[in-house]
Amino acid sequence: MHAVAAPLALKRDLLTGTEWSPAQLRDFFRLATEMKARPDRYRTVLAGSVFVLIFEKPSLRTRVTFETGIANLGGTSTFLDHTAARLSEREPVRDIAKNLERWVQGIVARVFAQETLEELAANANVPVINALSDKFHPCQALADFFTLEERFGGLRGLKLAYVGDGNNMCHSLLTIGARAGAHIRVATPAGYEPDAAIVAESKRVARETRGKIEIVRSPEDAVAGAQAVYTDVWASMGQETESAAREKAFAAYQVNEALFEQAAPDAVFLHCLPAHRGLEVSAGVIDSPRSIIYDQAENRLHVQKAILHTLLT
Ligand code: CP
Ligand code: NVA
């Protein structure tokens, strides 16, 4: 019988990513590395545990990687499809939480409003994991920085440019990147900047970790010399009616060959996916050898297994 790495003593919900200190994040990445390298040692850590996945929005990666990860760790899961209805429509979120905690060991929720997650967590005495909200996508950003650490061997001082909408993805890259000591430059059009409170919190953490957070206007300024260039959709799930207006506002923010050339010579391209070739990114960049989008997607699985092990055992 092999010894498995001891779980980390972290707060039991993952709602924003701000729950974790820089030191806890470092330990977390070590655990994820170990679990990725030796998956057989962790086949039973969740034996007998049942999880509910509640999704108010569609998903490919998050759903499949959570369902697969739970199964790989010996647990089982039930998917509650709320993609046609918000959680509070049939009954109050509080009642849903208070029912679920009687039956299952953990809740993975993809929601419109961050408040829905907070309400689930406040009322369910089992861990709640944010599988994407309007404010954050912590599981994705954890997988992204884990992928960058594999690629570059470390995250301190790593230069990451984020170009596009100051959305959930941008917020989570700021939150996790600050804790990792990365140097992050975000370029958005006017009116689409990231949330000021999240930027301020990330800057505060970055002062501790010698990271750097800068919000700029010009995509060229953000990308100059960057080792990693990240973009996301211009209209997130739920913003479909704004698509045309956003396409206009973001037209100068496409990550294409001309922009990507201004990054460092060994730069990589990242996108959380799904992507729209010809809008936020050109096919020439996303389908180039410098693109690591499928490594990011693979690492969702390994990193989320480490999240489950950390919060549940
Ligand atoms: N990146 C991501 O979360 O993908 P899905 O929306 O397919 O889960
Ligand atoms: N910002 C995107 C991320 C999808 C994974 C959205 O919320 O739709």
The pick from 57, 60, 64, 139 for probing ligand 1's pocket by mutation, whose C-beta has the most ligand atoms within 8 angstroms, reads 60
- Say yes or no: CB of residue 141 within 6 Å of ligand 2: no
Which ligand has an atom closest to residue 272 CA? 1
Lining ligand 1 with CB less than 6 A are 59-62, 132, 140, 272-273
What's the pLDDT tens digit per position in 64-77?
999 999 999 999 99
DSSP calls for the chain: -PPPPPPP---S-BSSSTTS-HHHHHHHHHHHHHHHH-GGGGTTTTTT-EEEEEESS--SHHHHHHHHHHHHTT-EEEEEE-TTS-TTTTS-HHHHHHHHTTT-SEEEEE-S-HHHHHHHHHH-SS-EEES--SS--HHHHHHHHHHHHHHHS--TT-EEEEES--SHHHHHHHHHHHHHT-EEEEE--TT-PPPHHHHHHHHHHHHHHT-EEEEES-HHHHHTT-SEEEE--SS-TT-GGGHHHHHHHTGGG-B-HHHHTTS-TT-EEEE-S---BTTTB-HHHHTSTTB-HHHHHHHHHHHHHHHHHHHH-
CATH of domain 43-134: 3.40.50.1370
8 has a pLDDT exceeding 90:
no
How far apart are the CA of 288 and the centre of ligand 2, in A? Answer: 22
pLDDT attached to residue 9: 55
Q: Where are the domains of the chain?
A: 43-134, 140-296
- State the CATH architecture for 140-296: 3-Layer(aba) Sandwich (3.40)
- Say yes or no: CB of residue 229 within 6 Å of ligand 2: no
> What's the mean pLDDT in 200-224?
98
The single residue of 61, 63, 82, 137 carrying the catalytic annotation is: 137
pLDDT attached to residue 237: 98
pLDDT attached to residue 5: 75
What's the pLDDT tens digit per position in 222-268?
999 999 999 999 999 999 999 999 999 999 999 999 999 999 999 99
Q: What is the pTM of this model?
A: 0.97
Domains 43-134 and 140-296 equal at CATH topology level = yes
pLDDT attached to residue 221: 98
Catalytic site residue 232? yes
Catalytic site residue 170? no
What's the pLDDT tens digit per position in 128-179?
999 999 999 999 999 999 999 999 999 999 999 999 999 999 999 999 999 9
Which ligand has an atom closest to residue 58 CA? 1
